[in-house]
Structure 1
Amino acid sequence: MRKIKAQLFISLDGVVEAPDQWHFPYFNEEMGAAVDATLGRAGTLLLGRRTYDSFAGAWPDREAAGGEDAPFAKVLGDARKIVVSNTPLDFTWRNSERLAGDLTTAVAALKNAPDTDTPVWISGSVSVVRQLLAAGILDELNLLLHPVAVRNGMRLFEDHAQAIPLQLLSAETFRTGVLNLFYTVATAPGEGTYEDARTHLPQHQE
């Protein structure tokens, strides 16, 4: 069974909107390697409409320009790109297709595809990530946590929504202070009270 994984740039206060406005000062070779290890090796990308439009408006031109980022642009171009959209799309970027049917049903079918065990990667596409997390379909969430409070913009986790417990799989600290965190959805930890917690506090003798 193939896994569905997502990678997001996120600020210390949870903002994921417009990372191009705040994350580039933290982009070094460590982060470049982290992105290459995920999106740079993805055979299939699952993208929301706005993320796809942003990618399609930039990466084909970068590939054609032949600059330092052209090899990465080619990898994205060669990947199968499945776009979540409620309206028909006129694709100009190669290997692009519209997601057919309900999101969770279609992604569950992708997970069960018999032809490959390579993961499907999601970049950005916050609404897609939220829906798959809530449905328990997302297998892995990679957050590149930046040491900056952006103070405005859309956050990954909405207010007044149901709690989603996560389990930390691995953590790495870059020289810039960025944390490269990998999570998977966990089972609920159960109920707890202060009376339960205080038994773990240090017991000082009078």
Structure 2
Amino acid sequence: MISMDGSDCGCHPGEEDIGNWVLLAQAAQELQIPFVASGGSATGSQLAAALAMGAEGLNMGTRFMATKEAPIHQGIKEALVKAKGTDTTHVMQTLGNTERVYKNKVVIECRDIEAKQPGEFEAIRRLVSGENYRKSFQETGDAETSVWSCGQSIGLIKDIPSCKDLLESMVAEAEDIIRNRLMSKL
């Protein structure tokens, strides 16, 4: 099984900028092995859509960050709940290592430096340091003081449930859509 990562995913979406809608359709047409949809997913309706497009399921990173069990600071979880889908951007594009991240003051500074010094990792090293990320996620909970990955699904996150409750809710929503909405269209 492979993961098909659309450009709406957090972390490294690749350099081709292909969204899940097109990527999943292409995977269904061309692959002979099972695949999961990765990137930008947080709801049962998206699970139903991914299944309809041939995926075996979803791979969700950002959505699981905002769960009770996620081993990150509560402040980061609350930032995810408050965020809009437009609160992400890319960094490190000039390095050929694009990363989708939460748009904050450090990221804006990083993008400004990249615009002035494209391809110069040393110019942004202090900003993208893993130590900054670790402090934000484990110690301070301050969403503004480090570069951290998240997908566009942040705009769909409305709560901080347990993993069990999240999955049960998503599966119930997907089943309802498939049974009641989609079947009635046949």
TM-score between both structures, scaled by the size of structure 1: 0.27
Compare the two structures and name the one with the higher helix fraction: 2
**Which structure has the greater CA radius of gyration?**
1
Compare the two structures and name the one with the higher strand fraction: 1
TM-score between both structures, scaled by the size of structure 2: 0.29
| Larger RCO: 1 or 2 (CA < 8 Å, sep 6+) | 1
